[in-house]
Structure 1
Amino acid sequence: MDLQFFVSLSIILATFALYIGIAYYNKATATSDFYVAGRGVPPIFNGMAIGADWMSAASFIGLAGTVMLLGYNGLAYIMGWTGGYLLLTFLLAPQLRKYGRYTVPEFIGDRYESHSARIIAAICTIVISFTYSIGQLSGSGVVIGRLFEINAATGTMIGVVLIAIYAAFGGMKGITWTQVAQYIILIIAYLIPVIFMSLQLTGNPIPWISYGNIVNELGALDRELGVSEYFAPYSSGSKWQFLALLFTLMAGTAGLPHVIVRFYTVSTMKAARWSGAWALLFIGLLYLSAPAYAAFSRFILMKKVAGQPIDQLPAWTESWVNTGKLKLADTNGDGILQWAELIIDRDIVVMATPEIANLGVFVIGLVAAGAMAAALSTAGGLLIAISSSFAHDIYYRVLKPDASEKNRLAVARWTIVIATVIAGIVALDPPGAITQIVAWAFALASGTFFPALLLGIWWKRSNAQGVTAGMIVGLAVTLAYIFAAKAGVFTILGIIDTGAGVFGAAAAIITNIVVSLATPAPSLKSQEEVMDLRYPEQMSYKDGEVWMNDSK
């Protein structure tokens, strides 16, 4: 057992022990604990939990690698994922919290007074969360695979076992407080390497300021090697793809069921807004660091790895080759590794950077622990979303309304285990890179829930027939475009599979409006409830007028 393995394993086991201890101490004993943590989480801690729930393996492991390989075009991921929180915080989250339900399908079912809409929404939640969870399990496979120097697929199955036990045990209450700990661990693990790299390369420990100089040097290196310049816009995709991806990620963020449910865990609308504000701050720490991470990693690879003799490459390259995520090929037979001969999977950039930059075994272990924290935290939230959609919205609200609390919790926990195993099987041979798989989940959310929630809150005329048709059409259009674009059948304006949400959202909104206007209006009670959602909790809408504290 080498020192690096021992240190990495020790740090990961220590953090796992911490998570299990927190989950056990906060074990869910009632359905309100399991689904919404008893609605008693303070906004600042909820902001941390949202940050951990949000900063998945895609963000921690894949984002910097995506920006490193795509350059300017990769910024759409950062702007889209961050900007989506503004939509969610101001347009949807406080209103959803005021309505006081457990899940997004429950809101849709009750708002539109329709079991059909509830079931379609629950199915959409399961599809979206399942797709997203494939990316998380794939990410855990990358981390575990590198730790044990085994194939990433084997690492994925180990991750399946860990995540299934962890998520099924504590429910939302346990997951909330473990996510607070996971956020602290993952952000420290993410910032330390980028700060040290900044110090090594520029002499400045503030990477957000110093990486601009490195980007300029990368431009010169790109020209020297004859490759597309790192910061040249739209070099690897069209302007329309950039804008479509930006919209898809923003609207998808505002419609993700496992993120929205986090706003149900606070006590008031005001607390929901402050949770969103804190979440933006905590998320910004990582997202503002990702471009610096990408630039530093690319610079080190171009200067210290590319151009070196194949038989004199650093020891870390062999370890990553064993995982199947790094390929080295001396295609021209000159014994020198050219930049074009270095095929590095974008999903290993963050994990490999501490080794690439020679930052020491402790930092390598810390990054591994941070990556596992990111995968675990998001996977936990996703699996709770899947579980609540089936156990609460379908099993309890539709199939068996007289089910006891004990039975409901049992069904919820078994749903988590089954969903994790199935997602893990798919993740053994993932259909794309982590960020790509996650982008599909966002496309599905932007084509289904974003239109349903936006119109459900801000257009009182939207009815059950309209939202049901809108979700079905949005889901179908989004899935069809993803499959068609990925298979190379066709694309529109150069928009590839990751930008499919723009078509799904447009189709869903148009369908919702047309069908709603062609069918009877919702009940007066339903319309007044919608109007009431738009006012702070101390205010209400009654009989066409705004009232406060039971007086006009």
Structure 2
Amino acid sequence: MDQFTLNLLVVGATFALYFGIAIWARAGTTSEFYTAGGGVHPVLNGMATGADWMSAASFISMAGIIAAGGYDTSAYLMGWTGGYVLLAMLLAPYLRKFGKFTVPEFIGDRFYSQSARLVAVICLIVASVTYVIGQMTGVGVAFSRFLEVKASTGLYIGAAVVFFYAVLGGMKGITYTQVAQYVVLIFAYTIPAVFISLQLTGNALPPLGLFSTHIESGMPLLAKLDQVVQELGFAKYTGHSDTTLNMFLFTMSLMIGTAGLPHVIVRFFTVPKVADARASAGWALVFIALLYTVAPAVGAMARLNLISNIYPNGTQSDPIAYEARPDWMRNWETTGLLKFEDKNGDGLIEFYNDKSKNEDFNAAAAAKGWAGNELTVNNDIMVLANPEIARLPGWVVALVAAGGLAAALSTAAGLLLAISSAISHDLIKGSLNPNISEKGELMAARVSMGVAIAVATYLGLNPPGFAAQTVALAFGLAAASIFPALMMGIFSKRINNVGAVAGMLSGLLVTVVYIFLHKGWFFIPDTNSYTDAAPLLLSIKSTSFGAVGALVNFAVAFAVSRATAAPPQAIQDLVEGIRIPRGAGKAQSH
């Protein structure tokens, strides 16, 4: 059976499962659409949270970023995992105790202000739309490969799939679909990693294989990788080239951005009581760790295998001829995500760092007649291409395609639900039309989700970075706007409505402006450029600025609150009650 047919069978089988679940779990009420009726078992909710959390950025792009960037990009791992711990310990149980459907609803009630609720809706939509762009980018990458079409065509197909099961099932359908998607994505991620680790090191456990001996060279795997990348003019894989300040702020932005993500927070409203929310958080961390402990090995081994494919004789002076390139390169060229340009006309693939800071290397490359790097490999293809590069069986390749789609679709669905609930529940029912019927609200939620899918698809055609980079921008926006408001709302009785609104707007505005300036977008974004301009403030990049925006948010909120009247006593008593995580019933819809 050829690979294309095998891909269709495996991916088609998983999609049939998702569609079947969506039809079986079709939401009939707003409670089922927003919170799955509040009756999901903690273990299943933990699994669904893991799928919701491990997006295209985690499955498809994170290992690709690590493969390209090495040690410096380990901040993605530290920030995203640490952020989930913050969310589970500091926010989730208390928000579940409060018992509302959405983050803006909590902010509106806690800060006794319709304006605060509307500002939270704006912050949520900005962060979530940015995040969903990264997911749709991943959907396009995965569909493009397994259907052997352009990435843009894959994106359109993926959008249609998301529209069907997310709009139909709401949170109830999404939850049970995400359980199935978690099973698919975790097998799809770990099985190829085990195969490749055995090939390269003889160790069946990828995290241990990363620190084992490379069989072919007899060197430690990471030492071998350092050697081959430096021979091609790249920085040392295990070296640290980023500034400590930027790396710290980037990690913090990811951590507190994680804790402010509305599509993950809402998952803790789908369980019956507060104790179940805590149990869900624990189980989710276990399920997340299964992928995150494997990702560094996947990234390192993918980088080593990629270079070995281009230089099969083990010497960097003897690259492979373009006409003799392996099949996996031919397959990915179809998608437009891998490109070759013969700059010196010798028919060979010269893959190296033509912007190397090593002058001796640059001189040696010029002496060989190399006229610049000739192979462009999109970071987002590394995980999906990894089994093909390692020449694994066809069923493994098909499984990885299914896993990539499961990861991207699960998070996209969760984000779209957060956006639609903010519009239908917080904007329409909360402000514009409080007397809307439950049926009307449900229809508004589905229509707004459809519009959000269309917008995300359009923006996903020209994303502002690789999937993981785009997602990092979304985390920065959530860190600067939503997280501080939630923390102050739970742990400070003194923050009032004026301070909360001023803080959220200040944090969001300063972060958006910095991102636009640093990206060089100004008023007309050049969405085809993934390269940042020079840092505007010290060494802080756009993906790291969310932590600074959060500090601005906290500072403005405290300063304004101190200069204005304290919250009413009833609100202060409410804050005191939130911090006692007992006795919560089902989430309230009104």
Rounded to whole Å, the distance in 2 between the matches of 1:515 and 1:188 is 51
Aligned residues: 536
Q: Deviations over 1:332-391 (max 9, x none)?
A: 444432331332111000011111011121111101111111111001100100000000
Equivalent residue for 1:246, pick from 251, 258, 262 = 251
Rounded to whole Å, the distance in 2 between the matches of 1:533 and 1:195 is 45
Q: CA deviation at 1:266?
A: 1.2
The corresponding residue for 1:218 is 225
The corresponding residue for 1:285 is 290
Rounded to whole Å, the distance in 2 between the matches of 1:302 and 1:319 is 18
3-state SS in 2 of match to 1:343: strand
Q: CA deviation at 1:217?
A: 1.1
The corresponding residue for 2:162 is 163
The corresponding residue for 2:324 is 312
Report if the CA contact (8 A) 1:108-1:121 is conserved: yes
Question: Counterparts of 1:166-315 in structure 2 under 5 Å?
Answer: 166-212=165-211, 213-234=220-241, 237-306=242-311, 307-315=319-327
Rounded to whole Å, the distance in 2 between the matches of 1:331 and 1:298 is 23
Question: Counterparts of 1:69-84 in structure 2 under 5 Å?
Answer: 69-84=68-83
Letter in 2 for 1:501: G
Report the RMSD for the aligned CA atoms in angstroms: 1.3
Q: Deviations over 1:478-523 (max 9, x none)?
A: 1011111111375212111111201210110001101111111111
Question: Counterparts of 1:334-353 in structure 2 under 5 Å?
Answer: 334-340=346-352, 341=373, 342-353=375-386
Percent of aligned pairs with the same amino acid: 49
Letter in 2 for 1:392: H
Rounded to whole Å, the distance in 2 between the matches of 1:17 and 1:222 is 43
Q: Deviations over 1:191-226 (max 9, x none)?
A: 011000011111111111011232121122233334
Rounded to whole Å, the distance in 2 between the matches of 1:383 and 1:448 is 19
Letter in 1 for 2:188: A
Letter in 2 for 1:96: L
The corresponding residue for 1:530 is 575
Equivalent residue for 1:496, pick from 524, 531, 541 = 541
The corresponding residue for 2:493 is 460
Report if the CA contact (8 A) 1:153-1:429 is conserved: no
Letter in 2 for 1:227: F
Letter in 2 for 1:284: A
3-state SS in 1 of match to 2:581: coil
Report if the CA contact (8 A) 2:93-2:277 is conserved: yes
Equivalent residue for 2:502, pick from 462, 465, 469 = 469
Report if the CA contact (8 A) 1:108-1:117 is conserved: yes
Equivalent residue for 1:368, pick from 383, 396, 401 = 401
The corresponding residue for 1:543 is none
3-state SS in 1 of match to 2:334: helix
Report if the CA contact (8 A) 2:420-2:445 is conserved: yes
Report if the CA contact (8 A) 1:165-1:417 is conserved: no
The corresponding residue for 1:439 is 472
3-state SS in 1 of match to 2:210: helix
Report if the CA contact (8 A) 2:34-2:421 is conserved: yes
Report if the CA contact (8 A) 1:484-1:490 is conserved: no
Shifted more, 408-417 versus 323-332: the winner is 323-332
Rounded to whole Å, the distance in 2 between the matches of 1:460 and 1:446 is 21
Runs of 4+ in structure 1 off by over 6 angstroms are: none
Report if the CA contact (8 A) 1:54-1:378 is conserved: yes
3-state SS in 1 of match to 2:580: coil
Rounded to whole Å, the distance in 2 between the matches of 1:310 and 1:380 is 40
3-state SS in 1 of match to 2:462: coil
Q: CA deviation at 1:108?
A: 0.3
Report if the CA contact (8 A) 1:135-1:438 is conserved: yes
Q: CA deviation at 1:315?
A: 1.2
Equivalent residue for 1:388, pick from 421, 432, 437 = 421
Rounded to whole Å, the distance in 1 between the matches of 2:484 and 2:193 is 38
Shifted more, 451-460 versus 144-153: the winner is 144-153
Matched, 1:67 2:66: yes
- Cα distance change, pair 490–242 in 1 and its aligned pair in 2 (3 A): closer
Rounded to whole Å, the distance in 2 between the matches of 1:222 and 1:182 is 35
3-state SS in 2 of match to 1:327: strand
Letter in 2 for 1:11: V
The corresponding residue for 1:331 is 343
3-state SS in 2 of match to 1:323: coil
Matched, 1:450 2:483: yes
Q: Deviations over 1:10-43 (max 9, x none)?
A: 1111111101111111111111110011111111
The corresponding residue for 2:214 is none
Q: 5+ residue gaps in structure 2?
A: 212-219, 312-318, 353-372, 521-532, 585-590
Q: CA deviation at 1:148?
A: 2.2
Q: CA deviation at 1:180?
A: 0.5
Question: Counterparts of 1:78-93 in structure 2 under 5 Å?
Answer: 78-93=77-92
Letter in 1 for 2:490: I
The corresponding residue for 2:516 is 483
The corresponding residue for 1:13 is 12
Report if the CA contact (8 A) 2:273-2:583 is conserved: no
Report if the CA contact (8 A) 1:89-1:273 is conserved: yes
3-state SS in 2 of match to 1:28: coil
Rounded to whole Å, the distance in 2 between the matches of 1:40 and 1:106 is 21
Q: Could you say which structure has the higher helix fraction?
A: 1
Rounded to whole Å, the distance in 2 between the matches of 1:264 and 1:538 is 14
Rounded to whole Å, the distance in 1 between the matches of 2:31 and 2:309 is 54
Shifted more, 50-59 versus 426-435: the winner is 426-435
Report if the CA contact (8 A) 2:42-2:279 is conserved: yes
Report if the CA contact (8 A) 1:129-1:382 is conserved: yes
Report if the CA contact (8 A) 2:165-2:173 is conserved: no
The corresponding residue for 1:521 is 566
Rounded to whole Å, the distance in 2 between the matches of 1:180 and 1:143 is 20
Report if the CA contact (8 A) 2:322-2:348 is conserved: yes
Shifted more, 429-438 versus 48-57: the winner is 429-438
Q: Deviations over 1:234-289 (max 9, x none)?
A: 2xx32222111100100000000111101111122221111111111111111111
3-state SS in 2 of match to 1:293: helix
Q: CA deviation at 1:88?
A: 0.6
Rounded to whole Å, the distance in 2 between the matches of 1:172 and 1:372 is 19
The corresponding residue for 1:549 is none
Letter in 1 for 2:223: N
Report if the CA contact (8 A) 1:144-1:156 is conserved: yes
Rounded to whole Å, the distance in 2 between the matches of 1:490 and 1:71 is 21
Letter in 1 for 2:398: G
Matched, 1:322 2:353: no
Report if the CA contact (8 A) 1:53-1:259 is conserved: yes
Rounded to whole Å, the distance in 2 between the matches of 1:322 and 1:298 is 21
Rounded to whole Å, the distance in 2 between the matches of 1:502 and 1:208 is 30
Q: CA deviation at 1:536?
A: 2.9
